[in-house]
């Protein structure tokens, strides 16, 4: 870990219903005082953002969206949700460029950067996701691919920016990279952020994502250059997600 405050973000993806928001009070109970030492963000599907905020009440948990439109102004964009609307509903973060959107919906680095810029314009902190595929890693191109994604999909202004390194092959399965592989790519991301933003790049938190769970979180979060985690499946149950929050360095 660097000196940055750890950030643990939970990405519900397209899982759950309103009833699942009951996990939030449990998360607050189970994490307790750690919420002052670790920043925690829950990213439910857009229709539940406002209700998530209500369940959080005065606790120090932030809410994030999972995507936003690249268009900031109100416009004829059926089905799109703007960053300003997410903010209005109570979000303060938004995930952009998740690999599921890049691969299933063809989102490009350029589109992701526009979304990150729209997030900034609305006062949301973008969590920009990057990561190589299995084939790219096998070709020895992981570092090159990730550096290029960071260069092309991060916003013009680094204010509030978070980057999540999520190797595509580690998401949704049971494989994670070795500690050395994670440290190496986090170093690549940090170098690219410094190149792009100068000193301001040092304040950008770099999360690891991809099969983080209650068992492996402590080891992953202790890796040099890892400033937190972006968690998928293991964020859906308060017991697992709180264990990950409590595994962050300095949480207890």
Instruction: With contacts defined by CB under 6 A, name the span among 58-66, 73-81, 166-174, 178-186 that binds ligand PGA.
Output: 166-174
Cα(187)–Cα(135) distance, integer angstroms: 21
Cα(210)–Cα(175) distance, integer angstroms: 8
Query: Cα angle vertex 187, ends 185, 192, to 5°?
Result: 95
Write down the catalytic residue from 39, 98, 132, 186. 98
Cα(133)–Cα(139) distance, integer angstroms: 10
171 binds ligand PGA (CB under 6 A): yes
81 binds ligand PGA (CB under 6 A): no
CB 117 within 8 A of CB 94: no
Closer residue to ligand PGA (CB): 73 or 239: 239
Please select the residue that binds ligand PGA; options are 5, 141, 218, 233, rule is CB under 6 A.
233
Q: Is 98 a catalytic residue?
A: yes
Dihedral angle computed from the Cα positions of residues 97, 168, 150 and 214, in that order, rounded to the nearest 10 degrees: 90
Write the interaction track for ligand PGA spanning residues 185-224; mark x where CB under 6 A is met and - where it is not: ------------------------xxxx------------
Write down the catalytic residue from 39, 100, 132, 166. 166
Please select the residue that binds ligand PGA; options are 16, 32, 172, 187, rule is CB under 6 A.
172
């Amino acid at each position: 870990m660097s000196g940055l405050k750890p950030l643990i973000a939970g990405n519900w993806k397209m899982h759950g219903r309103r009833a699942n928001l009951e996990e939030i009070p449990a998360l607050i109970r189970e994490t307790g005082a750690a919420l002052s030492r670790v920043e925690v963000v829950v990213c439910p599907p857009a229709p539940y953002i406002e209700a998530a905020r209500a369940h959080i009440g005065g606790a120090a948990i932030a809410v994030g969206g999972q995507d936003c439109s690249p268009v900031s102004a109100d416009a004829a964009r059926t089905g799109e949700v703007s960053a300003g609307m997410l903010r209005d509903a109570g979000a303060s973060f938004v995930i952009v460029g998740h690999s599921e959107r890049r691969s299933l919906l063809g989102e490009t680095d350029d589109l992701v950067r526009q979304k990150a810029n729209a997030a900034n314009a609305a006062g949301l902190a973008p969590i920009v996701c990057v990561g190589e595929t299995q084939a790219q890693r096998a070709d020895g191109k992981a570092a090159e691919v990730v550096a290029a994604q960071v260069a092309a999909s991060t916003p013009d202004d680094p204010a509030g920016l978070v980057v999540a390194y999520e190797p595509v092959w580690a998401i949704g399965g049971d494989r994670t990279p070795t500690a050395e592989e994670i440290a190496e790519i986090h170093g690549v991301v940090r170098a690219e952020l410094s190149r792009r933003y100068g000193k301001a790049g040092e304040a950008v938190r770099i999360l690891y994502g991809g099969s983080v769970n209650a068992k492996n979180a402590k080891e992953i979060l202790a890796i040099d250059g890892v400033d937190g985690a972006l968690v998928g499946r293991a964020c859906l149950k308060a017991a697992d997600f709180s264990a990950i929050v409590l595994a962050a360095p300095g949480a207890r």
